[in-house]
Structure 1
Amino acid sequence: MSRLEEKTINIEKIFTGKVISLQLEDVELPNGNTSKREIIKHPGAVAVLALTDDEKIVMVEQYRKALEKTIVEIPAGKLEPGEDPLECAKRELEEETGYDCKEMDWLISFYTSPGFADEIVHLYIAKGLVQKENAASLDEDEFVNLIELTLEEAEQFLKEKKIYDAKTAYAVQYLQLQKALRK
């Protein structure tokens, strides 16, 4: 055990839902004392930075109940059990936007809130977008408006807090960095 690792002594499952589960863990701390940790287990997710040929960012506007408001985000979704993140990213892009792509590459993976959750998001970039005639449809409980923004418009949405989630802010900052490196 590393000098920082916490050893799990007991796990009590509190809740199991459609997307997440919550468990209470008793842990032994590095100094030998014990403590409790509330842990959210999540299957992981993907997000797609989809760029049109004229370099617009394909986004969705969606109501988020946890926030009690509508925000603008890059397409994203939850991994199904055993699903390959790349395949999930392609599926989510099609379901939420109606687009397929000629090229999709992994950019980065990151934990969203490692202090209490194990959710990991795999971020991809999609180029060579092609509108599908018979695209897969949204989940039955999912409603979105499709929008396309220039980088400058996305930057303004960040200032106005229309874009307010980490995965989308990260994607916009990635494009800002790429633009700065080209200068």
Structure 2
Amino acid sequence: MPNTPIILERNTVARSRLFRAEELQLEFSNGEQRTYEKLCSGGPGAVLMVPMLDDSTVLMVREYAGGLENYHLSLPKGAMDAGETPAQAANRELKEEIGYGAKSIHFLKQVHLSPSYMEHKINILIMRDLYPETLQGDEPEPIEVVPSPFDDLFSLVMQDDVIEGRSIAALYMTRDWLAQKTS
């Protein structure tokens, strides 16, 4: 594995309410120098939940996505608050977004969204043994909860409105984790 490049200089080049962008002047081990830009993370991280109502039903949400300027179907997700563990954040967000808590929470994996130019990471957690409980969230409108069949995962992810890569990856990882757990 090559040596990590030396950061010669780091500058914030843009800042918004949600994002901060940095420019990095790097020197690689072979002497080559390059300028990289990256979006920096703005908090302790985020969580994406795979809420399993039962072994054959996953609860998904239909919500507005600003990047699409339209609605799409995905797994519920949200930001972690300072001091929260991923499991605590996932259970809180689940109650805020879909009106359920989980008695059984399994941390599956932390993934990075686009490591070439983003620091942003998200923790994927499987939520099982769900029970009704609602917390007030910060969504601008009620989120539509869509019970979706988990038995035919390929058909689910091939729906026109299921387009988010994180959700698709989490669904397939959950399917395989559940298969190992029951075998």
Asked whether the two chains share a fold, i.e. TM above 0.5, the reply is yes
Contact 1:154 1:163 in 2 (8 A): no
Q: Number of paired residues?
A: 180
> CA deviation digits over 1:98-123, x for unaligned, max 9?
10111111011111110001111111
| CA distance 1:143–1:155, shift in 2 (3 Å) | farther
Structure 2: which amino acid aligns with 1:131?
P
Q: What is the CA–CA distance in structure 1 between the aligned matches of 2:84 and 2:177, rounded to whole Å?
A: 30
Q: Name the structure 1 match of 2:168.
A: 169
Q: Percent identity?
A: 21
TM-score by length of structure 1 reads 0.87
Q: Name the structure 2 match of 1:93.
A: 94
Q: Name the structure 1 match of 2:84.
A: 83
The within-5 A match list for 1:76-155 is 76-132=77-133, 135-141=134-140, 143-152=142-151, 154-155=153-154
Structure 1: which amino acid aligns with 2:165?
A
Q: What is the CA–CA distance in structure 1 between the aligned matches of 2:165 and 2:22, rounded to whole Å?
A: 25
| CA distance 1:19–1:87, shift in 2 (3 Å) | farther
Give the CA RMSD over aligned residues. 2.1
TM-score by length of structure 2 reads 0.87
Q: What is the CA–CA distance in structure 2 between the aligned matches of 1:167 and 1:78, rounded to whole Å?
A: 15
Which is further off, 35-44 or 170-179? 170-179
Q: Name the structure 1 match of 2:11.
A: 12
Q: Name the structure 2 match of 1:65.
A: 66
Question: How many Å apart are 1:80 and its aligned residue?
Answer: 2.5
SS in 2 for 1:173: helix
Gaps of 5+ in 1: none
Question: How many Å apart are 1:160 and its aligned residue?
Answer: 2.5
Q: What is the CA–CA distance in structure 1 between the aligned matches of 2:23 and 2:177, rounded to whole Å?
A: 42
Structure 2: which amino acid aligns with 1:86?
A
| CA distance 1:7–1:14, shift in 2 (3 Å) | same
The within-5 A match list for 1:24-43 is 24-42=23-41, 43=43
Q: What is the CA–CA distance in structure 1 between the aligned matches of 2:179 and 2:82, rounded to whole Å?
A: 39
SS in 2 for 1:52: strand
Question: How many Å apart are 1:166 and its aligned residue?
Answer: 1.9
Structure 2: which amino acid aligns with 1:51?
M
> CA deviation digits over 1:69-124, x for unaligned, max 9?
21111111112334321111111111101101111110111111100011111111
| CA distance 1:179–1:95, shift in 2 (3 Å) | closer
| Residue 157 (structure 2) pairs with residue 158 (structure 1) | yes
Which is further off, 75-84 or 43-52? 75-84
